[in-house]
Amino acid sequence: MENYRSERLEKYLDDLAARLPAPGGGSVVALVGALGVGLLSMVSNFTLGKEKYKKSEEEIKNILERSEDLRERLTGLVDEDIRVYNKVSGAYKLPRTTDKEKEARSRAIEKACKEALTVPMEAARCCCEGLEIAGRLVEIGNVRLVSDVGVAAGLLEAALKGAELNVNINLKLIEDKNFVEEKKKVISSLVRDRLKIKDEILKKTEDKI
Protein backbone atom coordinates (compact mmCIF):
# COMPACT_ATOMS: atom_id res chain seq x y z
CA MET A 1 0.00 0.00 0.00
CA GLU A 2 1.20 3.50 -0.83
CA ASN A 3 2.26 5.79 1.98
CA TYR A 4 1.13 9.08 0.49
CA ARG A 5 2.06 10.98 3.60
CA SER A 6 5.72 10.79 2.59
CA GLU A 7 5.14 11.02 -1.17
CA ARG A 8 5.24 14.08 -3.41
CA LEU A 9 1.91 15.80 -3.97
CA GLU A 10 2.27 15.14 -7.70
CA LYS A 11 2.39 11.38 -7.04
CA TYR A 12 -0.84 11.52 -5.05
CA LEU A 13 -2.62 13.57 -7.70
CA ASP A 14 -1.40 11.33 -10.53
CA ASP A 15 -2.67 8.22 -8.72
CA LEU A 16 -5.93 9.95 -7.87
CA ALA A 17 -6.55 10.78 -11.52
CA ALA A 18 -5.50 7.35 -12.80
CA ARG A 19 -7.66 4.28 -13.29
CA LEU A 20 -6.80 2.96 -9.84
CA PRO A 21 -9.17 1.79 -7.09
CA ALA A 22 -7.51 4.11 -4.57
CA PRO A 23 -6.95 6.87 -3.59
CA GLY A 24 -10.53 8.03 -4.02
CA GLY A 25 -13.13 10.30 -2.49
CA GLY A 26 -12.61 9.27 1.11
CA SER A 27 -8.90 9.97 0.96
CA VAL A 28 -9.56 13.33 -0.72
CA VAL A 29 -11.99 14.28 2.04
CA ALA A 30 -9.25 13.75 4.62
CA LEU A 31 -6.72 15.70 2.57
CA VAL A 32 -9.07 18.64 2.02
CA GLY A 33 -9.87 18.70 5.72
CA ALA A 34 -6.15 18.66 6.54
CA LEU A 35 -5.60 21.60 4.19
CA GLY A 36 -8.40 23.49 5.92
CA VAL A 37 -7.04 23.07 9.43
CA GLY A 38 -3.53 23.70 8.14
CA LEU A 39 -4.68 27.18 7.13
CA LEU A 40 -6.08 27.69 10.63
CA SER A 41 -2.67 26.79 12.07
CA MET A 42 -1.01 29.27 9.72
CA VAL A 43 -3.34 32.09 10.77
CA SER A 44 -2.73 31.23 14.42
CA ASN A 45 1.04 31.29 13.94
CA PHE A 46 0.83 34.71 12.28
CA THR A 47 -1.31 35.99 15.17
CA LEU A 48 0.86 34.82 18.07
CA GLY A 49 3.48 37.26 19.30
CA LYS A 50 1.79 40.35 17.88
CA GLU A 51 1.01 43.11 20.38
CA LYS A 52 -2.33 43.89 18.72
CA TYR A 53 -3.59 40.38 19.61
CA LYS A 54 -1.89 40.04 22.99
CA LYS A 55 -5.14 39.72 24.93
CA SER A 56 -6.12 36.66 22.88
CA GLU A 57 -2.70 34.99 22.96
CA GLU A 58 -3.62 32.12 25.28
CA GLU A 59 -6.76 31.33 23.32
CA ILE A 60 -4.83 31.44 20.04
CA LYS A 61 -2.26 29.04 21.49
CA ASN A 62 -5.10 26.67 22.35
CA ILE A 63 -6.55 27.02 18.86
CA LEU A 64 -3.14 26.27 17.34
CA GLU A 65 -2.77 23.16 19.47
CA ARG A 66 -6.21 21.93 18.44
CA SER A 67 -5.73 22.69 14.75
CA GLU A 68 -2.39 20.87 14.70
CA ASP A 69 -3.95 17.85 16.39
CA LEU A 70 -6.69 17.87 13.75
CA ARG A 71 -4.14 18.19 10.96
CA GLU A 72 -2.29 15.16 12.29
CA ARG A 73 -5.47 13.10 12.53
CA LEU A 74 -6.77 14.07 9.10
CA THR A 75 -3.40 13.51 7.42
CA GLY A 76 -3.34 10.01 8.88
CA LEU A 77 -6.80 9.34 7.44
CA VAL A 78 -5.53 10.01 3.89
CA ASP A 79 -3.74 6.65 3.95
CA GLU A 80 -6.11 4.99 6.41
CA ASP A 81 -8.99 5.38 3.97
CA ILE A 82 -7.00 3.52 1.32
CA ARG A 83 -6.19 0.74 3.79
CA VAL A 84 -9.82 0.14 4.79
CA TYR A 85 -11.00 0.39 1.19
CA ASN A 86 -8.58 -2.37 0.25
CA LYS A 87 -10.07 -4.53 3.01
CA VAL A 88 -13.58 -4.05 1.60
CA SER A 89 -12.34 -4.78 -1.90
CA GLY A 90 -10.59 -7.91 -0.66
CA ALA A 91 -13.73 -9.12 1.08
CA TYR A 92 -15.74 -8.83 -2.14
CA LYS A 93 -13.15 -10.96 -3.94
CA LEU A 94 -13.56 -13.91 -1.56
CA PRO A 95 -14.87 -17.13 -3.12
CA ARG A 96 -18.62 -17.78 -3.09
CA THR A 97 -19.03 -21.16 -4.68
CA THR A 98 -20.48 -23.04 -1.69
CA ASP A 99 -23.02 -21.91 0.90
CA LYS A 100 -20.29 -21.93 3.52
CA GLU A 101 -18.10 -19.68 1.37
CA LYS A 102 -21.01 -17.34 0.67
CA GLU A 103 -21.74 -17.02 4.39
CA ALA A 104 -18.07 -16.35 5.21
CA ARG A 105 -17.87 -13.78 2.41
CA SER A 106 -20.97 -11.96 3.64
CA ARG A 107 -19.58 -11.78 7.18
CA ALA A 108 -16.24 -10.51 5.88
CA ILE A 109 -17.92 -7.80 3.78
CA GLU A 110 -20.04 -6.66 6.71
CA LYS A 111 -17.02 -6.49 9.00
CA ALA A 112 -14.89 -4.64 6.44
CA CYS A 113 -17.64 -2.12 5.67
CA LYS A 114 -18.13 -1.37 9.35
CA GLU A 115 -14.40 -0.78 9.72
CA ALA A 116 -14.30 1.37 6.59
CA LEU A 117 -17.04 3.56 8.05
CA THR A 118 -14.76 4.68 10.88
CA VAL A 119 -12.67 6.80 8.48
CA PRO A 120 -15.37 9.16 7.13
CA MET A 121 -16.94 9.34 10.58
CA GLU A 122 -13.65 10.47 12.09
CA ALA A 123 -13.08 12.87 9.20
CA ALA A 124 -16.52 14.37 9.80
CA ARG A 125 -15.78 14.88 13.51
CA CYS A 126 -12.46 16.55 12.70
CA CYS A 127 -14.04 18.87 10.14
CA CYS A 128 -16.79 19.86 12.59
CA GLU A 129 -14.18 20.77 15.17
CA GLY A 130 -12.23 22.64 12.51
CA LEU A 131 -15.30 24.73 11.62
CA GLU A 132 -15.79 25.49 15.30
CA ILE A 133 -12.19 26.73 15.52
CA ALA A 134 -12.57 28.78 12.34
CA GLY A 135 -15.67 30.43 13.79
CA ARG A 136 -13.60 31.71 16.69
CA LEU A 137 -10.45 32.50 14.73
CA VAL A 138 -12.31 34.77 12.33
CA GLU A 139 -13.14 36.88 15.39
CA ILE A 140 -9.74 37.04 17.12
CA GLY A 141 -7.15 36.05 14.52
CA ASN A 142 -4.82 38.30 12.55
CA VAL A 143 -7.14 40.37 10.36
CA ARG A 144 -4.55 40.44 7.57
CA LEU A 145 -5.15 36.72 7.12
CA VAL A 146 -8.91 36.71 7.59
CA SER A 147 -9.43 35.56 3.99
CA ASP A 148 -7.45 32.41 4.84
CA VAL A 149 -9.93 31.64 7.61
CA GLY A 150 -12.71 31.97 5.04
CA VAL A 151 -10.91 29.60 2.67
CA ALA A 152 -10.43 27.15 5.54
CA ALA A 153 -14.15 27.27 6.36
CA GLY A 154 -15.05 26.54 2.74
CA LEU A 155 -12.67 23.59 2.59
CA LEU A 156 -13.87 22.15 5.89
CA GLU A 157 -17.54 22.44 4.92
CA ALA A 158 -16.84 20.73 1.60
CA ALA A 159 -14.88 17.96 3.31
CA LEU A 160 -17.66 17.49 5.84
CA LYS A 161 -20.21 17.08 3.05
CA GLY A 162 -17.89 14.59 1.36
CA ALA A 163 -17.55 12.63 4.59
CA GLU A 164 -21.34 12.49 4.89
CA LEU A 165 -21.63 11.10 1.36
CA ASN A 166 -19.02 8.43 2.11
CA VAL A 167 -20.76 7.45 5.34
CA ASN A 168 -24.10 7.10 3.59
CA ILE A 169 -22.78 4.98 0.72
CA ASN A 170 -21.02 2.67 3.19
CA LEU A 171 -24.18 2.30 5.26
CA LYS A 172 -26.02 0.95 2.21
CA LEU A 173 -23.67 -2.04 2.23
CA ILE A 174 -24.28 -2.93 5.89
CA GLU A 175 -27.12 -5.26 6.90
CA ASP A 176 -26.99 -4.60 10.65
CA LYS A 177 -30.03 -2.30 10.92
CA ASN A 178 -29.34 -1.13 14.48
CA PHE A 179 -25.78 -0.22 13.53
CA VAL A 180 -27.00 1.65 10.44
CA GLU A 181 -29.61 3.66 12.34
CA GLU A 182 -27.13 4.59 15.05
CA LYS A 183 -24.54 5.83 12.53
CA LYS A 184 -27.18 7.75 10.56
CA LYS A 185 -28.10 9.67 13.69
CA VAL A 186 -24.47 10.44 14.47
CA ILE A 187 -23.60 11.74 11.00
CA SER A 188 -26.84 13.75 10.83
CA SER A 189 -26.01 15.48 14.10
CA LEU A 190 -22.50 16.29 12.88
CA VAL A 191 -23.55 17.87 9.58
CA ARG A 192 -26.82 19.48 10.66
CA ASP A 193 -25.60 23.10 10.85
CA ARG A 194 -22.54 22.93 8.59
CA LEU A 195 -23.81 25.30 5.88
CA LYS A 196 -25.05 27.83 8.42
CA ILE A 197 -21.73 27.82 10.27
CA LYS A 198 -19.71 28.15 7.06
CA ASP A 199 -21.92 30.96 5.78
CA GLU A 200 -21.60 32.83 9.09
CA ILE A 201 -17.81 32.57 8.93
CA LEU A 202 -17.72 33.75 5.31
CA LYS A 203 -19.99 36.71 6.14
CA LYS A 204 -17.64 37.76 8.95
CA THR A 205 -14.68 37.21 6.65
CA GLU A 206 -16.14 39.44 3.95
CA ASP A 207 -17.04 42.11 6.50
CA LYS A 208 -13.40 42.29 7.62
CA ILE A 209 -11.83 42.35 4.16
Rounded Cα gap, residues 161 and 156, in angstroms: 9
Q: For residue 7, what pLDDT is reported?
A: 85
Structural domains of the chain, ranges and CATH numbers in brackets: 4-208 (1.20.120.680)
Rounded Cα gap, residues 158 and 160, in angstroms: 5
- The answer to whether the Cα torsion of 66, 72, 73, 77 is positive or negative is positive
Which residues of the chain fall short of a pLDDT of 70?
1-2
Is the distance from CB of 78 to CB of 34 less than 8 angstroms? yes
Rounded Cα gap, residues 40 and 201, in angstroms: 13
Q: For residue 1, what pLDDT is reported?
A: 58
Q: How far is CA 144 from CA 56, 149, 202, in A?
A: 16, 10, 15
Q: How many CB atoms lie within 10 A of CB 125?
A: 17
Helix (H, G, I), strand (E, B) or coil at 208: helix
Tens-digit pLDDT profile for residues 84-132: 999 999 999 999 999 999 999 999 999 999 999 999 999 999 999 999 9
Q: For residue 91, what pLDDT is reported?
A: 95
Q: For residue 33, what pLDDT is reported?
A: 98
